[in-house]
């Protein structure tokens, strides 16, 4: 009773930590404060909920609040917002409808997550402008989609002008941001017969991936009648009460809805106010055990930075697996078994209509040079199955390595959905974590059979080609 483990935030990191701590310490007091009503939900599934492939928001929840309370004996307090942390007194203060509580802690985990970045332009507060950061965002979007489809069924003849490309258009909408959320939402909306305008500030979608991956995915988006607006920074969302158009430097596109997929930033206010240090990335800094500068105070999930396995430097890559893994490690550490959370590789995957893509490690040459590497990159397109096998898919692999050491730095892979770009990226992640060289990868004894790859899997083909380039450039004066 005197040494409670207190968690602020009831999503992946927080609930993983609480669950792991419970298994390790059956008698420990474990208190979780969550300001909303949902806990342990799969935010990554929201685009598929909006799309209509998942029927109920509840389906995204892996463990319900009741299960946490009753089966895992965790004192989970939803509807409680933590408003202050006192690291001297070792307490947190939480407010709820029933008043204010001051909760002492023995160990504290800050898992406050991230919030959607709203670009600083006129009109983002108009009706019809959405983000997709929370379950309630998902609910509102799905309701919008259903409403718009009903309206379209009634009024189709009046909407022809705005929907320029599609015959049975539900209405033209905008997605701002060509990252994975933007692309998944473009798919979700297009599947519901919206004409989707995708606005990307830079000159390509999926900027963390390779150029070739971006181009491949962009082609798929265009094939599916998504209208790509590249180099198109949004200046304003115009309209009266309701958004009516997206305004860029060159254009004004009429839309009926805008989804902002312009990234997230860590929620750090609470930690900062308590004197907990942030790192250079702007997220909460933590050591290998995920402990902050304040003893017994941990941070994990989308509010915290982590160590990048390639650079050895802190990085901010807010994704679900890291949150789970770090939460789990903290649950063990605070119950007596110090456990490192492990590094990150900046790995990400996305399905874009009928294509799939993954990236991992460091691909950007400037980023690589800043970390002391001399990056060399090759891209190959290789058959995804034996050439004679009755299927003709390909996988395009971009591989980057350091010129002198040959160490693999990063990769980006893309293929048709089902041709295995994403699962093949697993091999490169393992190579990054092992600090393997391109020659090491070239010699991987990967599984081969005609229905799955060519004798040299596309990953090996990329390694062969890049190893050759490294050898050739070695010989230059």
The yes or no reply on residue 442 touching its own copies (CB under 8 A) is yes
Quick one: 255 or 309, whose CB is closer to its own copies? 309
**Whole-number Å distance between alpha carbons of 301 and 292:** 13
How many Cβ atoms from other residues are within 10 Å of residue 112's Cβ? 25
Q: Within positions 37 to 66, which residues make up the interface with its own copies, using CB under 8 A?
A: 42, 44-45, 48, 53-54, 59-60, 62
Please report how close the Cβ of residue 61 comes to its own copies at its closest, in angstroms. Answer: 9
Alpha helices in 336-381 (DSSP H): 365-370
Q: Are 35 and 7 in contact (CB under 8 A)?
A: no
Q: Are 379 and 396 in contact (CB under 8 A)?
A: yes
What distance lies between CA 235 and its chain's CA centroid? 25
The yes or no reply on residue 273 touching its own copies (CB under 8 A) is no
Candidate ranges 117-125, 228-236, 239-247, 345-353; the one touching its own copies (CB under 8 A): 345-353
Q: Are 239 and 123 in contact (CB under 8 A)?
A: yes
Please report how close the Cβ of residue 145 comes to its own copies at its closest, in angstroms. Answer: 17
Candidate ranges 125-133, 147-155, 168-176, 435-443; the one touching its own copies (CB under 8 A): 435-443
The yes or no reply on residue 345 touching its own copies (CB under 8 A) is yes
How many Cβ atoms from other residues are within 10 Å of residue 419's Cβ? 24
| Cα–Cα separations (whole angstroms), residue 438 to 178, 343, 382, 460, 467 | 31, 21, 17, 9, 6
| Cα 406-383-361 angle, rounded to 5 deg | 35
Exactly one of 100, 160, 392, 448 binds its own copies (CB under 8 A); that residue is: 448
Residue 245: strand pairing partners: 238, 254
Candidate ranges 29-37, 150-158, 262-270, 421-429; the one touching its own copies (CB under 8 A): 421-429
What is the number of H-type helices and E-type strands within the chain? 12, 25
The yes or no reply on residue 313 touching its own copies (CB under 8 A) is no
Establish whether 163 is a catalytic residue. Answer: no
Please report how close the Cβ of residue 286 comes to its own copies at its closest, in angstroms. Answer: 15
- Count of residues in contact with its own copies, rule CB under 8 A: 71
The yes or no reply on residue 321 touching its own copies (CB under 8 A) is yes
Quick one: 350 or 470, whose CB is closer to its own copies? 350
Q: Are 110 and 9 in contact (CB under 8 A)?
A: yes
Residue carrying structure tokens 């970045």: 117
Candidate ranges 123-131, 191-199, 267-275, 343-351; the one touching its own copies (CB under 8 A): 343-351
Quick one: 92 or 397, whose CB is closer to its own copies? 397
The yes or no reply on residue 324 touching its own copies (CB under 8 A) is yes
Exactly one of 425, 438, 461, 465 binds its own copies (CB under 8 A); that residue is: 425
Residue carrying structure tokens 């909460």: 284
Q: Within positions 353 to 392, which residues make up the interface with its own copies, using CB under 8 A?
A: 356, 358, 360, 386-390
Residues with a catalytic annotation lie at 44
């Amino acid at each position: 009773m005197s040494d409670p483990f207190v968690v602020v935030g009831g999503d992946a990191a927080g609930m993983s930590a609480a669950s792991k701590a419970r298994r390790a310490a059956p008698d420990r007091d474990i208190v979780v404060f969550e300001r909303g009503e949902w806990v342990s939900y799969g935010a990554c599934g929201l685009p598929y909920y909006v799309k209509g492939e998942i029927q109920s928001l509840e389906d995204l929840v892996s463990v319900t609040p009741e299960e946490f309370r009753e089966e895992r004996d965790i004192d989970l307090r939803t509807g409680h917002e933590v408003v202050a942390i006192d690291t001297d007194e070792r307490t947190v203060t939480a407010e709820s409808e029933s008043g204010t509580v001051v909760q002492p802690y023995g160990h504290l985990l800050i898992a406050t997550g991230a919030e959607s970045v709203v670009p600083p332009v006129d009109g983002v507060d108009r009706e019809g402008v959405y983000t997709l950061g929370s379950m309630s965002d998902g609910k509102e979007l799905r309701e919008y989609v259903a409403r718009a489809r009903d309206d379209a069924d009634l009024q189709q003849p009046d909407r022809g002008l705005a929907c320029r490309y599609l015959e049975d258009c539900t209405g033209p909408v905008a997605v701002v941001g060509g990252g994975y959320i933007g692309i998944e939402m473009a798919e979700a909306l297009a599947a519901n017969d919206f004409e989707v305008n995708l606005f990307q500030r830079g000159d390509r979608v999926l900027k963390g991936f390779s150029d070739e991956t971006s181009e491949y995915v962009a082609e798929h988006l265009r094939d599916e009648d998504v209208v790509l607006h590249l180099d198109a920074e949004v200046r304003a969302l115009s309209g009266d009460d309701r958004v009516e158009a997206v305004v860029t430097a060159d254009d004004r596109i009429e839309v009926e809805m805008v989804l902002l997929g312009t990234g997230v930033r860590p929620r750090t206010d609470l930690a900062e106010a308590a004197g907990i240090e942030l790192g250079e990335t702007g997220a909460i800094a933590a050591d290998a055990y995920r402990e902050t500068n304040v003893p017994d105070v941990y941070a994990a999930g989308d509010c915290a930075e982590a160590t990048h396995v390639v650079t050895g430097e802190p990085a901010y890559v807010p994704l679900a697996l890291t949150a789970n893994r770090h939460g789990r490690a903290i649950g063990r550490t605070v119950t007596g078994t110090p456990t490192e959370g492990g590094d990150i590789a900046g790995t990400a995957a996305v399905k874009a209509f009928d294509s799939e893509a993954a990236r991992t490690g460091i691909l950007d040459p400037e980023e690589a040079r800043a970390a002391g590497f001399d990056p060399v990159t090759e891209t190959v397109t290789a058959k995804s199955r034996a050439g004679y096998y009755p299927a003709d898919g390909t996988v395009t692999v971009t591989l980057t390595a350091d010129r002198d050491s040959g160490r693999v730095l990063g990769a980006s892979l893309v293929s048709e959905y089902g041709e295995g770009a994403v699962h093949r990226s697993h091999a490169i992640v393992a190579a990054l974590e092992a600090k393997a060289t391109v020659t090491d990868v070239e010699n991987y004894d990967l599984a081969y059979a005609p229905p799955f790859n060519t004798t040299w899997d596309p990953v090996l083909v990329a390694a062969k080609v890049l190893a050759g380039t490294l050898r050739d450039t070695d010989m230059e004066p």
